[in-house]
């Protein structure tokens, strides 16, 4: 099997590359700039691709003729999407149309990544068939992209996910576990909201969801997330407990405490029964996820110290 990944330099992209190569899959990784994975496998190819350039999308997918395209690329900074709507739409909507059309031309199975932010957060956790009602431009753009995929003539699957966390050697963004750990270790007081609920997703679990969908060629919409419904405050306390950190640095807050450009849904999270039954998806608990990240961080620190 040959799988092409867009956005391979991102957190999910890097995790997916690593997983697929262990499964003997031929991987065509694509992204902006130089390759962050530095993989030397004979089954691995990296090529630069600007998904907002329709001609490039057609050329790359047409040249490599993958069995599956996994579209992980997107503009995901919710506030940035609100202030840079034109750019957001270009990356999250127009580019998806180009990818869909290229997949139709090449009879390629498309796996497209979406988000819990297509929902308003009034009735979470959500099932796949629940009515979407985004309250941010980011959410609107992702819902518009879903509609393009659903109407396409190619075989497709949409994987919706929630608050993805993980670590990789080349990270462009932090996550709540690292933020809490670093803040408390540096004796910095932090405020964490108690009025938002999510089912946080370990990046390895989401990568596995992509792989299972690809090998089973399951079509339709699937919720791929963690199984624990938690507030960010819950996540912070669990992180502090795991690392034996002083919880007194963590203060409860509500979302009105923070001035954010875009609205956030209050309670999302997913029901993942469909993914469990149809894909064989088995996510880790949040506690297990913290332990996995801890092991990976120690391994990265070891590698970095050996290079000095």
Q: Tell me: the pLDDT tens digits for 123-139?
A: 999 999 999 999 999 99
pLDDT the model gives residue 44: 98
pLDDT the model gives residue 298: 93
pLDDT the model gives residue 296: 95
Phi, psi of 42 (to 5 degrees): -70, -20
Quick one: which H or E segment has residue 251?
strand 250-253
pLDDT the model gives residue 38: 80
Model confidence band, residue 231 (pLDDT cutoffs 50, 70, 90): very high
Enumerate domains of the chain plus CATH numbers.
2-173+200-227+268-288 (3.40.50.720)
pLDDT the model gives residue 18: 97
Decide if pLDDT at 278 tops 70. Answer: yes
Decide if pLDDT at 57 tops 80. Answer: yes
Q: Higher pLDDT residue, 45 or 305?
A: 45
| Mean pLDDT (the chain, rounded) | 96
Decide if pLDDT at 68 tops 70. Answer: yes
The structure's pTM equals 0.97
Average pLDDT over residues 147-172: 94
pLDDT the model gives residue 308: 67
Model confidence band, residue 305 (pLDDT cutoffs 50, 70, 90): confident
């Amino acid at each position: 099997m040959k799988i092409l990944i867009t956005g391979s330099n991102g957190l999910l992209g890097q995790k997916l590359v690593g997983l697929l190569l262990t499964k003997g899959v031929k991987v065509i990784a694509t992204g902006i700039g130089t390759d962050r994975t530095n993989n030397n496998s004979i089954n691995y190819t990296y090529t630069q691709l600007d998904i907002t350039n329709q001609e490039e999308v057609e050329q790359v997918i047409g040249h490599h003729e993958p069995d599956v395209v996994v579209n992980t690329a997107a503009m995901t900074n919710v506030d940035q999407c609100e202030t840079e709507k034109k750019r957001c739409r270009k990356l999250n909507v127009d580019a998806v149309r180009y990818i869909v059309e290229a997949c139709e031309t090449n009879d390629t199975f498309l796996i497209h990544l979406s988000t819990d932010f297509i929902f308003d957060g009034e009735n979470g956790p959500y099932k796949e068939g629940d009515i979407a009602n985004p309250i941010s431009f980011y959410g609107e753009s992702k819902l518009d992209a879903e509609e393009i995929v659903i109407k396409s003539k190619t075989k497709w699957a949409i994987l919706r996910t929630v608050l993805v966390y993980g670590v990789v050697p080349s990270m462009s963004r932090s996550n709540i576990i690292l933020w809490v750990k670093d803040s408390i270790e540096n004796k910095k007081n932090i405020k964490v909201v108690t009025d938002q609920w999510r089912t946080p997703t370990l990046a390895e679990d989401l990568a596995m969801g992509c792989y299972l969908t690809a090998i089973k060629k399951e079509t339709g919409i699937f919720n791929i997330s963690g199984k624990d419904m938690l507030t960010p405050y819950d996540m912070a306390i669990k992180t502090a407990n795991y690392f034996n950190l002083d919880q007194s640095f963590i203060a409860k807050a509500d979302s009105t405490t923070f001035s954010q450009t875009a609205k956030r849904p209050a309670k999302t999270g997913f029901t993942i029964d469909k993914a469990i039954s149809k894909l064989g998806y088995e996510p880790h608990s949040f506690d297990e996820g913290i332990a996995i990240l801890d092991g990976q961080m120690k391994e990265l620190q070891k590698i970095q110290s050996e290079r000095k």
